[in-house]
Amino acid sequence: MASDLFGDAPRQAPERATRSSAASDAARPLADRLRPAALADVVGQEHLTGEGGVLSRMLEAGSLGSMIFWGPPGTGKTTVARLLAGEVGYAFEQISAIFSGVADLKKVFEAARLRRDNGRRTLLFVDEIHRFNRAQQDSFLPVMEDGTVTLVGATTENPSFELNAALLSRARVLTFRSHDADSLARLLERAEAAEKRPLPLDDAARAALIRMADGDGRAILTLAEEVWRAGRPGEIFDAAALSEIVQRRAPIYDKGQDGHYNFISALHKSVRGSDPDAALYWLCRMLDAGEDPLFLGRRLVRMASEDIGLADPQALTVALAAKDAYDYLGSPEGELALAEATVYLATAPKSNAVYVAYKAAMRAAKESGSLLPPKVILNAPTKLMKDEGYGTGYAYDHDAPDAFSGQNYFPDGMERPSFYRPTERGLEVRLGERLQRWSQLRAERNRGR
């Protein structure tokens, strides 16, 4: 009896071992069970893993360089690193910067050196690499340089701000994209095939589930598991029931379809209409729904140029500063800068005079063909060009009264157009007065020529 208790464990019968293995597999989370077995099976990162992608080309060459995988959670960074190691026959080591220190790194480096000395290379995957401090990041440099490890670091933060320049100079940054609705739908289809049963959701609920995942592949599979656990035989959930089950609200917004364009139109027109409260509302609706804040920052820059222009030139500076502030701070701190710019633009004096002038000038440029500048305003760096009359008769404006010569700068023979017509709002009031004065001087001085 004692030997039975403390000796070797009895071997399981084959059918019992099979049942045990199946039970163990079923206990694993769906996201883990559906990890791709080959790089070609990775969903949503075809720009890296597809034909002609960066990683595909590396594998064709048969060797890997050190890399930084930059992207949001649930986009496959860990999975891709593991698959790359398998494709080229490297040993795969994984550590997390959250739980590891210098002592852990030394152990990993020593094991990698032993492998290298025995003819095998090591791919070291470092999750959340941005959480290592500068000194810890420096410890990777010598083992990268001497080939002890091929480093693949994963980060959700901008590497330009979070990683040492020395580390970045030795590693290529590859960007992982958030899953779009199509790739999330493909993941759901794979899950249904693996489970051999459909999700008990109607079409609206299925679309809501995809929005809830917010571009995270792991999240969509976790949500799918929750739905299956909650479902009763024959029951089909609508969007409202789904929200109750998973305790998540699905924003009524689709970043790739009508919601995306409708909401940004509402934000833009609220700014143009000088309604800061409405503009803030639509900004927050989009942020809450998971819109890319940098997309919003870029659109604010456009609004500053299109709808405010020279009525308040500072608006463009404020919008650019807000976009850069978000790029530097990230979420949630950087979102306040976007809110500040939104209020500034909404309350600024409005003018689309530059926008209208640009469109008119572009039409004229296309219609006028290949007309050349008048010779009087061309430089003449050679004797031949001087003999041809280049620059002859040019009036240097700083030497003219009022620093204004009134000279013609349009092609000879082209009737002078008027593109820019300032409004009577903001700084453009003064610009209009200035342009009117110059127009009068131009007429006076051209009469005397």
Torsion of the alpha carbons at 371, 375, 378 and 384, rounded to the nearest 10: 120
CATH 1.20.272.10 is right for the domain spanning 258-347 = yes
Taking the C-alpha atoms of residue 421 and residue 435, their distance in angstroms, rounded to an integer, is 9
Rounded distance, CA 67 to CA 81, Å?
10
At residue 449, the pLDDT reads 60
* Residue whose C-alpha is closest to residue 266's, from 252, 277, 278: 278
Instruction: Give per-residue pLDDT as tens, 278-331.
Output: 999 999 988 987 788 999 999 999 999 999 999 999 999 999 999 999 999 988
pLDDT at 17: 47
pLDDT at res. 3: 38
Pairwise CA distance, residues 338 & 350, whole Å: 19
Give the residues of the chain that fall short of pLDDT 70: 1-26, 248-259, 448-449
Q: What local confidence, expressed as pLDDT, does residue 344 receive?
A: 97
Architecture of the CATH domain 372-447:
Orthogonal Bundle (1.10)
Q: What confidence score (pLDDT) does residue 60 get?
A: 87
- What amino acid is encoded at 367 in this protein? E
237: β partners:
201
Q: In this predicted model, what pLDDT tens digit does every residue of 174-195 receive, in sequence order?
A: 999 989 899 999 999 999 999 9
- Beta strand pairing call for 67-70 and 150-155: parallel
pLDDT tens, residue by residue, 214-223: 889 999 999 9
Q: What percent of the chain has pLDDT over 90?
A: 54
In 3D, which of 302, 316, 237 has the Cα closest to residue 267? 302
CATH annotation of 181-246 = 1.10.8
- What is the domain partition of the chain in residue ranges? 45-175, 181-246, 258-347, 372-447
| pLDDT for 198 | 93
What pLDDT does residue 446 have? 78
- Which CATH number, 1.10.10.2520, 3.40.50.300, 3.20.20.210, 3.40.605.10, labels domain 45-175? 3.40.50.300
Tell me the per-residue pLDDT of 371-415, one tens digit each, with 9 for 90 and over: 889 988 889 888 888 888 898 889 999 998 889 998 888 998 888
Give the dihedral of Cα atoms 276, 280, 281, 283; nearest 10 deg. 140
